Amino acid sequence: MAIYTYKGLNKKGQEVKGNLNAENEGQAKQKIKQMKIMLLEVKEQKSKKQKKSGFSFGTGVDIQDISLMTRQLATLIKAKVQIVEAFQALQEQTENPTLKVILSEIKQKVNEGSSLANAMGDYPKIFTNVYVNMVDAGEASGTLEIVLLRLAEFSESQVKLKNRIKGAMTYPLVILIGGAIMMTIIFVAIIPKITKIFVSMKKELPLQTEICIWLSNFLQSYWWAVFLGGFASWFLGNRYVETKKGKANWDSLLLKLPVVGGLTRMINISRFCSTLSTLLNSGVPILASMKIVTNLISNVHLATAVDEARVSVSEGASMVGPLVKCGHFPIMVTHMIKLGEKSGELEPMLQIVAENFEEQVDAKLGGLTSIIEPIMMLGMGLIVGFVVFAIVMPMMELQSV
**Tens digits of residue pLDDT in 86-114:** 988 888 888 888 888 888 888 888 888 88
What is the average per-residue pLDDT within 271-294?
A: 82
**Amino acid 51: pLDDT:** 44
Query: Which stretch of 3-17, 233-247, 348-362 has the lowest confidence by average pLDDT?
Result: 3-17
CB 146 within 8 A of CB 282: yes
What is the average per-residue pLDDT within 133-154?
A: 81
Q: Is 186 contained in some domain?
A: yes
CB 276 within 8 A of CB 282: no
Q: Is the domain of 314 the same as that of 394?
A: yes
Q: Is the domain of 233 the same as that of 135?
A: no
Q: Tell me which of 103, 137, 155 is where a domain ends.
A: 155
CB 7 within 8 A of CB 15: yes
What is the average per-residue pLDDT within 181-189?
A: 82
Question: Is residue 250 scored above 50 in pLDDT?
Answer: yes
Q: Is the domain of 225 the same as that of 367?
A: yes
Query: Which stretch of 54-58, 106-110, 261-265 has the lowest confidence by average pLDDT?
Result: 54-58
Q: Tell me which of 155, 179, 213 is where a domain ends.
A: 155
Q: Is the domain of 140 the same as that of 163?
A: no
The model's confidence at residue 232, banded by pLDDT at 50, 70 and 90, is very high
**Amino acid 64: pLDDT:** 82
Query: How crowded is the C-beta side of 250, counted as CA atoms within 13 Å?
Result: 14
Q: Is the domain of 175 the same as that of 319?
A: yes
Q: Based on the structure, what is the number of domains in the chain?
A: 3
Question: Is residue 22 scored above 80 in pLDDT?
Answer: no
**Amino acid 201: pLDDT:** 66
Q: Is 313 contained in some domain?
A: yes
Q: Is the domain of 146 the same as that of 180?
A: no
Question: Is residue 47 scored above 60 in pLDDT?
Answer: no
Residues 6+ apart with CB under 8 A from 91: 1, 3, 21, 100, 103, 104, 107
The CATH number of residue 124's host domain is 1.20.81.30
Q: Is the domain of 262 the same as that of 186?
A: yes
Residues 6+ apart with CB under 8 A from 25: 4, 42, 44
**Amino acid 54: pLDDT:** 36
CB 24 within 8 A of CB 14: no
Question: Is residue 339 scored above 50 in pLDDT?
Answer: yes
Q: Is the domain of 130 the same as that of 162?
A: no
The model's confidence at residue 264, banded by pLDDT at 50, 70 and 90, is confident
What is the average per-residue pLDDT within 187-193?
A: 80
Task: Indicate the Cα dihedral angle 346, 348, 352, 357, nearest 10°.
Answer: 60
Q: Is 58 contained in some domain?
A: no
Question: Is residue 53 scored above 50 in pLDDT?
Answer: no
**Amino acid 57: pLDDT:** 37
Q: Is the domain of 100 the same as that of 169?
A: no
Q: Is 52 contained in some domain?
A: no
Question: Is residue 52 scored above 70 in pLDDT?
Answer: no
Q: Is 56 contained in some domain?
A: no
What is the average per-residue pLDDT within 319-332?
A: 89
Beta-ladder partners of 7: 17, 41
| Type of residue numbered 101 | V
Q: Tell me which of 155, 171, 193 is where a domain ends.
A: 155
Q: Is 51 contained in some domain?
A: no
The model's confidence at residue 311, banded by pLDDT at 50, 70 and 90, is very high
CA distance 400 to 176: 36
Q: Is the domain of 175 the same as that of 38?
A: no
**Containing structural domain, residue 319:** 158-401
The model's confidence at residue 56, banded by pLDDT at 50, 70 and 90, is very low
Q: Is the domain of 293 the same as that of 173?
A: yes
Q: Is 49 contained in some domain?
A: no
Q: Is the domain of 182 the same as that of 279?
A: yes
User: In this prediction, what percent of the chain has a pLDDT beyond 70?
Assistant: 90
**Amino acid 2: pLDDT:** 63
CA distance 175 to 380: 8
Task: Report phi then psi at 55, rounded to 5.
Answer: -85, 135
Q: Is 50 contained in some domain?
A: no
- Sign, Cα dihedral of 221, 227, 233, 236: negative
**Amino acid 309: pLDDT:** 92
CA distance 24 to 319: 53
